[in-house]
Amino acid sequence: MKKLWSCLVAGISLAACNTGAKKDLQPGTWQAKLHRKDGAAIVFNFEVKDTAGHKVLFVLNATDRLLVDDVKVEGDSVFIKMPFFDSDFKAQLQANGEMTGTWTRHLADKDVSIPFSATPNTTERFPVNNPAKGSVNGRWATWFKGKDNDSSYAIGEFKQQGNTVHGTFLTTTGDYRFLDGVLDGDSLKLSTFDGSHAYLFTAKVSGDAIVGGTFYAGIGDGKESWSAIKNDTAKLQDEATIATLKPGAGPLTFSFPDMEGKKVSLQDERFQGKAVVITLMGSWCPNCMDETNYLSDWYKKNKDRGVEVLGLAYERTTDFDKSKKSLSGFLKRFDVQYPVLITGVTPGDPEKGAKTLPQLTGIKGFPTTIFIDKKGNVKEVHTGFNGPGTGEHYEEFKYNFNRLIDQLLAE
């Protein structure tokens, strides 16, 4: 009777309590779904592995494998904490081996959740019933339109092999990372999940046009229509012109606390006579995750060349201790060895630029990267980041980044 009462109090089904069979999080590839209230399911895959006596999983999106190593199985309960963006899964293993539960995002002022389910031994992302009708290979000028008829422009870049489609959308402030999906007949379906991004795109392909598209974003009711036209010469605004240095503004003069609370300034001895890369970032930002991954590795290899990297973090709270907690896991995962300062200003603050870097014309997106020459002057300001999900654009970024650093060091 005591065991039965414990099960009922815990909210666990009587059947689950009484079964003698041990349930387990099966190794292999799973198909997962986030179930929105409007009936749309944001689909992704993950792979479970047994490593050194405990479970780990990899979230799979196209060629990306995001390691999640905080996985606990207790009886028939599964707890999965995502490594970034302060979100987690709480689920229950069912008799048929499936999982059901919730995915929760812990925002600065509240928690938001969505029902979640996952099926083991399922490598399929979306069902395919028909040969692909047409091709989405190439570059597409894309327009998104919200419910208030506000519109935005992006460039879709896709690679198709048979029914399988991988790609991303490029914007002036970054990219949508790794999109994975299919072209089933003329029906295009793409999705991604990384602990922050939870996106589903559906549309019809008609020759050199993509029509009737719907973009489902995240836990709530976020939804936009979208369409695209094949255009191999489509371009975005130059990243170096979106935010710039104000005429006559002079050197940057900020001073913010590092992770230990010690104030750090660009005028400190550490940065004098060196080229400096300043990244405006946040632990909530998927594109910042990609840039931090690149910069951390790059800094280890180049720090002895007379160059420094400095992060300015804009977290979703003005509370120092809460910001530090959010950043700590993020910086540890990428083994960041350069200083990261906590600005105490949120990314949603419309005055964030004026409060932190008034010498700039504004902060238009995250990440934003500022290149400082050896005399302490701003050389260039780049808004956004083309991450590894953008393929050749990521390679172009790396080439241009290193070319600019070489120029700064040669001056």
Domains of the chain: 23-119 (2.40.160.90), 138-230 (2.40.128.120), 255-410 (3.40.30.10)
Higher pLDDT, 150 or 375: 375
If you write DSSP's letter for every residue of 315-330 in order, what string do you get? -S-S-HHHHHHHHHHH
Q: pLDDT grade, residue 189 (50/70/90)?
A: very high
pLDDT tens digit string along 283-342? 999 999 999 999 999 999 999 999 999 999 999 999 999 999 999 999 999 999 999 999
pLDDT digits (tens, 9 = 90+) for 57-106: 999 999 999 999 999 999 999 999 999 899 999 999 999 999 999 999 99
Whether 343 and 324 have beta carbons less than 8 Å apart is answered as no
Tell me: pLDDT of 3 over 80.
no
Determine the residue type at 348: G
Structure tokens at 317: 């709270």
User: How many alpha carbons fall within 13 Å on the CB side of residue 38?
Assistant: 13
List the strands of the sheet with 340-342, edge to edge.
340-342, 307-313, 275-281, 368-372, 378-383
Cα(27)–Cα(82) distance, rounded to whole angstroms?
18
What single DSSP character describes residue 89? Answer: E
Grade residue 22 by pLDDT with cuts at 50, 70 and 90. low
What's the pLDDT tens digit per position in 326-362? 999 999 999 999 999 999 999 999 999 999 999 999 9
Question: Do 251 and 377 form a contact (C-beta atoms < 8 A)?
Answer: yes
- Consecutive H or E run containing 164: strand 164-171
Encoded tokens for 217? 């974003």
Nearest CA to 170 among 182, 157, 183, 158? 157
Rounded to two decimals, the pTM is 0.90
The pLDDT, as a whole number, for residue 108 is: 82
CA pair distance 216, 194, nearest whole angstrom: 15
Nearest Cα residue to 283 out of 257, 338, 322: 322
